[in-house]
Amino acid sequence: MTLRLSLEKLLYDRERLRRELEARLPRESVVRATSDYHSRKPPRPCGFTVHSAVGCSFACTYCYLPDMGVSYASARPYGLKGDEMVLALLSNPYFLPGRLGPPIAIGSIGEPFADSGTTQKTLEYLAAFSRYLGNPTQFSTKAALGGDIARHLAGLKLPLSPLVTVVTLKRSTALEPGAPSPEARLEAIRRLREHGLNPILFLRPLIPGVNTDELDDLLSEARRHGAVGVVVGGFRATASNLLRLARAGVDLSEVKRRLPRQPAPGEQVPLELHDLKQEVVRLARERGLTPFLSACCANNFTAFLHDALRAPCPGLDFIDGKFCTRCPVDCPNLRTEVDPEEVSRMVRRFAGESGSVEVDDRWLVIRGVKRRKLNPVHKYLLEVGYRRRVVLK
């Protein structure tokens, strides 16, 4: 059956849920949620990043948290309660709730399971997302998740995508001195899988000449422990992580060869790693893992494994991007149904003028509406809600 998409319905659901929560929460919670920065920050390519933890205690040599002014010596739970975080998201003009809304990603500026405080906060957020939202939700971790947590996570009614980071089996003492061992993380993958979740190996950062001789072993071990896929991600060099890696005795000759320029203080310089990423994609397929070049795709894939709903990836990479690896969701061949009259109504509601709208399988071509009337929020909502690129003519 063709999937029918309605932005009008998603916006209606957002407003209904927002009012319901606002009415139920104490006044100070509403103020805290609606003034929090999760209520206004624009989404990232991986979706809505949610911080259940700020900071991390694992002190990886390659980490760039310190360059962002965030501690990698300690982690603290975020200040909002679970219901408050939901209200913050529902108050964000870009956000849409539900399985067809944009993905949520936890763990971008801190380790969500660093200690008991951050673990409790992460579980509280996931429970609240499960109760109210249902968006595909991903977390990334280096923690040695035990059976109790795996069981708890598996009990959530949420399309959940666990990413477990393992980037080296041989050099963890130099690269990740404070993190649980790679073996403990592989065990976490096994536990998550045993409880019915679909863990994915997070192979980031790929550091050329440092961990790239281990790719085959990493993929094979992840597969053996039950990973269903792998997300491969690059390396961002900073002045301070290069210095720490050199001090730890890591050979950086290949990193330097690929470095486009020396990073200025506080600057993050990504390395060009297209060839190595393609090598991971090839090896992963040989080892029976589904490869991804973007975490958002892995989130969409895991949601599909969870409920068998084939929904095009909200990142729209299958239309004009370079990250689609043709996973089993098969976005390039999916067809969805959209009511052109509804799209016209939405354009009129956003821009105050209707113009004309042409809807095809991949594009929404809007004519006769002034460019400045359709702001980035409107464009984002139209693109995610209808899974089509907006073209203004």
Tell me which residues touch ligand SF4 (CB under 6 A).
Answer: 56, 58-60, 63, 65, 72, 111, 142, 179, 297, 300-301, 313, 317-318, 324-327, 329-331
For tokens 């993929």, what's the residue? Answer: 219
Q: Are strands 53-55 and 269-270 parallel, antiparallel or unpaired?
A: unpaired
Closest CB to ligand SF4 among residues 36, 317:
317
Please, what is the minimum distance in Å from the beta carbon of residue 304 to ligand SF4?
A: 8
Please, what is the minimum distance in Å from the beta carbon of residue 127 to ligand SF4?
A: 23
Please, what is the minimum distance in Å from the beta carbon of residue 334 to ligand SF4?
A: 8
Single-letter amino acid, residue 172: S
Judge whether 100 and 126 are in contact, CB under 8 Å. Answer: no
Please, what is the minimum distance in Å from the beta carbon of residue 186 to ligand SF4?
A: 16
What does the alpha-carbon distance between residue 45 and residue 317 come to, in Å, rounded to a whole number?
A: 10
Q: Are strands 336-338 and 3-5 parallel, antiparallel or unpaired?
A: parallel
Give Cα separations from 88 to 17, 104, 202 (angstroms).
12, 13, 28
Closest CB to ligand SF4 among residues 168, 300:
300
Judge whether 14 and 96 are in contact, CB under 8 Å. Answer: yes
What does the alpha-carbon distance between residue 34 and residue 323 come to, in Å, rounded to a whole number?
A: 34
Please, what is the minimum distance in Å from the beta carbon of residue 12 to ligand SF4?
A: 26
Give Cα separations from 132 to 296, 378, 382 (angstroms).
21, 23, 22
Please, what is the minimum distance in Å from the beta carbon of residue 72 to ligand SF4?
A: 4
Closest CB to ligand SF4 among residues 48, 64:
64
Closest CB to ligand SF4 among residues 33, 297:
297
Please, what is the minimum distance in Å from the beta carbon of residue 328 to ligand SF4?
A: 7
Closest CB to ligand SF4 among residues 34, 212:
212
Gyration radius from the chain CA atoms: 21
Closest CB to ligand SF4 among residues 318, 350:
318
Judge whether 206 and 167 are in contact, CB under 8 Å. Answer: yes
Please, what is the minimum distance in Å from the beta carbon of residue 120 to ligand SF4?
A: 18
Q: Are strands 290-292 and 229-232 parallel, antiparallel or unpaired?
A: parallel
What does the alpha-carbon distance between residue 319 and residue 137 come to, in Å, rounded to a whole number?
A: 23
Please, what is the minimum distance in Å from the beta carbon of residue 285 to ligand SF4?
A: 13
| DSSP assignment of 209-241 | TTTGGGHHHHHHHHHHTT--EEEE---EE-HHH
Closest CB to ligand SF4 among residues 83, 385:
385
Q: Where does the chain show beta strands of DSSP type E?
A: 3-5, 48-50, 53-55, 75-77, 104-106, 137-141, 160-165, 200-203, 229-232, 236-237, 269-270, 290-292, 336-338, 356-359, 363-367, 389-392
